């Protein structure tokens, strides 16, 4: 089983202050990268959210938004001023102005720039929110996101397996054609010697040595064997139990398959094999695009 890195999940629960809701969105990324947004005074739970999400979503860019919706809309619309905090900010600014000998005075316009001085009622009682609530909420949202990633992963797996089947067929055609090109080359050389020398007698030993040289130079058996090995390893990874991410391993195998396809093309010296090598690279490229989104 493979999982996509594209997913979405959400979860919510009631609290004495209102309804807590966590929304999670994920896209592809080489590593685990989290972006968390929380209401004022709930920033302290960001670490718990990240730790919980990472357990179920070990790879990808994860964006989580935590919201707190009060039961009363009237309360939600009213704002309060943190007077004690405002006094502290004013004193700090006065000290800064005096120490640096800055012109101007600390006024209302300056204090209004400090958003933390203004709080809505739900932030007044955030201490009553238990960390376990946030962890449980994060776990449920992560589970739903993971389920979506698994469903998307199944579609990716089906598409990749189709490309791998095409690659197997192409390798069979290459293997079948490879010996025939040597026979064709031998006959071509024989005819070329006859035309150049006007002699019907051919030095078969010399011709055999030339064909042996070409056989070694054009040999693609090792490339075919390695290519097939990469395909089998790829299929094994696709069929794994999904207990750990395989995206990076698949990415490495794609690089190796592309290398073998290039070598087969460079050693082709045959129109049919050249066409097949192009088809191989096209299928490998399709797989590469899909693997970029595999966890």
Examine the pLDDT at 218 and tell me if it is beyond 80: no
294 φ, ψ (degrees, to nearest 5): -90, 130
pLDDT grade for 32, boundaries at 50, 70 and 90:
very high
- Most confident of the ranges 171-175, 199-203, 240-244, 267-271: 171-175
Distance of CA 257 to the CA centre of its chain: 19
- Report the pLDDT averaged over residues 90-115: 83
153-165 pLDDT per residue, tens: 999 999 999 999 9
Task: Specify the pairing of strand 32-37 against strand 60-69.
Answer: parallel
pLDDT for residue 95: 87
| pLDDT at res. 108 | 82
- What's residue 288's pLDDT? 95
Q: Per-residue pLDDT averaged across 216-241, rounded? A: 87
Is 2 a domain residue? no
The mean per-residue pLDDT over the stretch 145-152 comes to 95
What CA dihedral angle connects 83, 87, 92 and 98, to 10 degrees?
Answer: 140
Examine the domain organization and report whether 144 and 224 are in the same domain: no
Mean pLDDT within 9-33:
92
Cα 171 to Cα 31: distance, rounded to the nearest angstrom: 34
Residues 202 and 184 in one domain: yes
Q: What is the pLDDT of residue 188?
A: 60
Task: Name the pTM for this structure.
Answer: 0.69
Q: Please give the distance of CA 22 from its chain centroid, rounded to a whole number.
A: 23
The count of domains in the chain is: 3
What is the CATH number for 13?
3.30.230
Comparison of pLDDT for 33 and 216, the residue scoring more: 33
The per-residue pLDDT for 65 is 96
Same domain flag for 58 and 93 = no
Same domain? 69 vs 84: no
Residue 294 burial (10 A CB sphere; 0-12, 13-18, 19+): buried
pLDDT band at 282 (very low <50, low <70, confident <90, very high): very high
Q: Which residue is listed with tokens 């302290």?
A: 44
Identify the band that residue 83 occupies on the pLDDT scale cut at 50, 70 and 90: confident
Largest CA distance in the chain: 110
The answer on 253 and 170 residing in a single domain is: yes
In this predicted structure, the answer to whether residue 121 has a pLDDT above a threshold of 80 is: no
Q: What is the CA radius of gyration of the chain?
A: 33
* pLDDT score of 81: 78
Query: DSSP letters along 21-84, please?
Result: EEEEEEE--SSEEEEEE--TT-GGGHHHHHHHHHHH--SEEEEEEEEEE-S-HHHHH--EE-HH
Does residue 265 sit in the same domain as residue 157? yes
CA proximity to 114, closest of 102, 106, 122, 123: 106
For residue 190, is pLDDT > 70?
no
Which of 29-43, 179-193, 223-237, 275-289 bottoms out in mean pLDDT, i.e. has the lowest?
179-193
Domain contains 61: yes
- Both tokens assigned to 263: 């070598």
CB-CB neighbours of 261 under 10 Å = 25
CA distance 69 to 146: 26
Domain limits for position 63: 7-76+120-148
What pLDDT sits at residue 251?
Answer: 94
Give me the helices (H) in the chain, please.
46-56, 73-77, 83-100, 108-111, 121-124, 131-197, 204-218, 221-238, 247-266, 271-291
Shared domain for 275 and 210, answered yes or no, is yes
203 plus 273 within the same structural domain: yes
Q: In terms of pLDDT, which residue wins out, 24 or 123?
A: 24
Q: Please report whether residue 94 resides in a domain.
A: yes
Going by pLDDT thresholds of 50, 70 and 90, the confidence category of residue 209 is low
Q: Is the pLDDT of residue 235 over 60?
A: yes
Residue 205: inside a domain = yes
Does some domain include residue 1? Answer: no
- Looking at per-residue confidence, does 190 or 118 come out higher? 118
pLDDT over threshold 80, residue 255: yes
Output 102 or 56, whichever has higher pLDDT.
Answer: 56
> Do the Cβ atoms of 240 and 267 come closer than 8 Å?
no
One domain, residues 259 and 174: yes
127 plus 256 within the same structural domain: no
Instruction: Examine the domain organization and report whether 142 and 265 are in the same domain.
Output: no
CB of 256 within 8 A of CB of 291? no
- Domain contains 211: yes
Crossing angle of the two packed helices 131-197 and 46-56, in degrees rounded to 10: 40
Token pair in block for residue 252: 């490495």
Separation CA 90–CA 219 (nearest Å)? 81
> Could you tell me if 40 and 155 lie in one domain?
no
**Do the domain assignments include residue 52?**
yes
Residue 135 inside a domain? The answer is yes
In the predicted structure, residue 210 carries a pLDDT above the cut 90? no
SS3 161: helix
Residues 40-77 have pLDDT tens digits of 778 899 999 999 999 999 999 999 999 988 866 554 45
């Amino acid at each position: 089983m493979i999982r996509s890195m594209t997913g979405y999940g959400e979860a919510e629960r009631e609290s004495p202050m209102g309804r807590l809701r966590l929304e999670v969105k994920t896209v592809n990324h080489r590593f685990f990268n989290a972006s968390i947004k929380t209401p004022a005074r709930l920033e302290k739970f960001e670490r718990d959210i990240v730790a919980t999400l990472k357990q179920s979503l070990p790879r990808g860019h994860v964006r989580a938004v935590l919201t707190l919706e009060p039961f009363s809309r009237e309360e939600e619309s009213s704002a309060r001023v943190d007077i004690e905090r405002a006094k502290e900010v004013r004193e700090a600014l006065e000290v800064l102005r005096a120490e640096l000998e800055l012109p101007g005075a600390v006024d209302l316009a300056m204090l209004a720039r400090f958003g933390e001085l203004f709080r809505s009622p739900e932030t007044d009682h955030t201490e009553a929110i238990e960390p376990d609530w946030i962890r449980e909420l994060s776990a449920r949202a992560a589970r739903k996101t993971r389920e979506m990633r698994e469903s998307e992963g199944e579609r990716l797996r089906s598409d990749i397996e189709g490309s791998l089947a095409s690659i197997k067929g192409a390798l069979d055609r290459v293997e079948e054609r490879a010996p025939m090109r040597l026979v064709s080359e031998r006959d071509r050389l024989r005819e070329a010697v006859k035309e150049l020398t006007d002699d019907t007698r051919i030095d078969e030993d010399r011709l055999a040595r030339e064909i042996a040289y070409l056989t070694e130079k054009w040999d693609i058996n090792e490339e075919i064997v390695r290519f097939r090995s990469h395909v089998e390893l790829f299929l094994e990874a696709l069929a794994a139990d999904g207990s750990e991410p395989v995206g990076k391993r698949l990415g490495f195998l794609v690089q190796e398959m592309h290398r073998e396809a290039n070598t087969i093309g460079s050693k082709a010296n045959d129109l049919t094999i050249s066409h097949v090598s192009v088809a191989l690279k096209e299928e490998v490229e399709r797989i590469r695009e899909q693997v970029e989104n595999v966890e």
